[in-house]
Amino acid sequence: MKILKRNFLFFIVFVTGAAILIIEVTAIRILAPYFGNTLFTISSIIGIILGGLSFGYYFGGVFADKYPKFSVLFFLIFIAGIFSFLIQVFSKTVLPTLGTTLDMKIGPPITSLILFFIPSLILGMISPFAIKLKAIELKDIGKVSGKVFFWSTFGSIIGSFLAGFFLIPHFGINKIIILTALTLVIIGVSGGWFFKDEKYKSYFKRLELFSFMIIVLLFVFITFFLPKDESVIFQKDGLYNQIIVEDTKIEDEKVRVLSLDRTSQGAVFLESSELPFEYTKYYVVYEIVNPQIEKALFLGGGAYSIPRKLLLDQNNVKRIDVVEIAPELYQVAKKYFRLQEDPRLFNHVTDGRRFLQETDQKYNMIFVDVYYTYFIPTHFVTQEFFSLAKSKLLEDSFFLMNINGTLDKEVNSFVFSEIKTFRSVFENSYFFAVDSPDKKGLQSFIFLGLNSSRKIDFGSQEILQHEKKLIRNLPEKLLDLENLNLDAAFIFTDDFAPVEYLTADFF
């Protein structure tokens, strides 16, 4: 028994250290569908978990001095497992309500506090307990504490890599949290059985039984009694986002929609080849800019609906490169969104900006759609990015992008800063409000940058009498930049791009 006690503690702190980081990494994926994968989310999770660990270290030391018993240590591990189970329960019951009522600034710290603080606090108590139980003599404290924190930190390192490189890509977030909680519960119960303490035995057994029964009841409730969304036909935790495919209707037409973390990223009509989302239709501006599209690049595949439509429309197209960082989406598009294999279509699983840096290809059209409603990747909004993209355009070619934002001058407008940044690279550029230039609320905007000096006359008969309604409507969607206050706007660079600060207010 003494040998077991002497060697088992380092394994315990290794496992609990790994559990902390597995929870921390998966926490980002748990909150992302509601508050975005933003600095606010990441900072809140790290801050709350570190806060829990700090209090855990303090109270763990106090309790270790007062109750230096192995039975107490394993009971704490059991309780940590129970509260880790509660992360799963609360994420299905409490989080959806908080996610719709709290904004993206205050929401992450509050929900992180509810979901992750107590499990972190209890897991933080383990290391001081291990040191107390291991360091029998005062002279051993330095060596023992060093070993305990080594194995705890080493476990955290393994947990971090394990979550990011193996668990999340191969298992759902739900399974990861349940497996982590179950591991802690098993260790707690097993340790409590091996290291019996008659003084606390009956007390701990009653608490363990009561806690476990509550968790079982809650888990049964969320599994069998919470309403299921019957429209969802596919759901999976992908490498970067939660992927959801669901069938719905738009104006009585059946539509299949792809959502990534609650943000719609593409759709197709089930009974026609047209595009349901208005902003996706703007690819047709090639008809007034460069009708002979031979090579096109799409950064952000989503449901691959626009590349698919361009292939159907344009016989002249010789090559379409689609860059999508989420490896699952290409197969999802083929299975659920009628994407067909085509020798002209080349799929690339990598970061879009990295692709631009490495490719030798040049294009007639570049279309960028990587800006989620709750997450705007900063390396796609800067001068350096637009300059890089422009360098990959052929003469008389164009760049298109879609972003969400507002024209409300009363808030810090991300749109104004992005327009100013875009114009600093694409001097010959045009900007369209998909809903209306008069709308002050949230809407989509299309940026059009020309790699030529040719100006577009939106009052010309070619546009006003065009066969396509979208092109005929371009003049009334065009933003008048003289009416926008761009003087106070930022120019985004790789060094300075306060995107979350500007988007938090209107999101």
Query: Is 288 inside a domain boundary?
Result: yes
Under the banding of pLDDT at 50, 70 and 90, the label for residue 196 is low
Mean pLDDT on 240-266: 87
Q: Number of structural domains, the chain? A: 2
Q: Which residue(s) pair with 243 in the sheet?
A: 236, 260
Q: Give the list of residues 6+ apart from residue 289 with CB closer than 8 angstroms, or none.
A: 398, 448, 450, 456
Q: Is the same domain home to 20 and 158?
A: yes
Which DSSP category does 167 fall into? I
Q: Is the same domain home to 55 and 191?
A: yes
Q: Is 180 helix (H, G, I), strand (E, B) or coil?
A: helix
Q: Give the list of residues 6+ apart from residue 70 with CB closer than 8 angstroms, or none.
A: 5, 133, 191, 195, 197
Query: Is 266 inside a domain boundary?
Result: no
Q: Is 487 helix (H, G, I), strand (E, B) or coil?
A: coil
Q: Which residue(s) pair with 402 in the sheet?
A: 446
| Domain CATH number, residue 90 | 1.20.1250
Higher pLDDT, 100 or 198: 100
Which DSSP category does 478 fall into? B
> What pLDDT score was predicted for residue 380?
93
- DSSP H/E element including 258: strand 253-260
Mean pLDDT on 485-505: 86
Helices (H), 163-303: 168-170, 173-194, 198-224, 286-289
Query: Is 252 inside a domain boundary?
Result: no
Write the single-letter amino acid at 24.
E
> What pLDDT score was predicted for residue 167?
87
Which of 189, 224, 259 lies at the terminal end of a domain, its last residue? 224
Write the single-letter amino acid at 206.
R
Q: Is the same domain home to 123 and 217?
A: yes
Q: Is the same domain home to 304 and 214?
A: no
Around 362, how many Cα atoms within 13 Å sit in the side-chain half-sphere?
10
Query: Is 258 inside a domain boundary?
Result: no
What gap in Å lies between CA 122 and CA 124, rounded to an integer? Answer: 5
Query: Is 167 inside a domain boundary?
Result: yes
pLDDT tens per residue, range 31-51 = 887 887 777 888 999 999 999
> What pLDDT score was predicted for residue 204?
58
Q: Is the same domain home to 281 and 422?
A: yes
Between the ranges 72-76, 121-125, 169-173, where is the mean pLDDT highest? 121-125
The answer, yes or no, to whether residue 213 has pLDDT greater than 80, is no
> What pLDDT score was predicted for residue 39?
79
> What pLDDT score was predicted for residue 374?
67
Nearest to 112 by CA among 19, 34, 182: 34
Higher pLDDT, 106 or 412: 106
> What pLDDT score was predicted for residue 3?
56
> What pLDDT score was predicted for residue 9?
84
DSSP 66-89: H---HHHHHHHHHHHHHHHHHHHH
The Cα angle at residue 309 between residues 255 and 250, in degrees rounded to 5:
20
What gap in Å lies between CA 135 and CA 102, rounded to an integer? Answer: 47
Query: Is 233 inside a domain boundary?
Result: no
pLDDT tens per residue, range 430-489 = 999 999 999 988 899 999 999 999 899 999 999 999 999 999 999 999 999 888 878 888
Which of 166, 198, 224 lies at the terminal end of a domain, its last residue? 224
Q: Is the same domain home to 348 and 220?
A: no
The answer, yes or no, to whether residue 137 has pLDDT greater than 60, is no
**Domain span including residue 209:** 2-224
Query: Is 318 inside a domain boundary?
Result: yes
Which DSSP category does 213 fall into? H
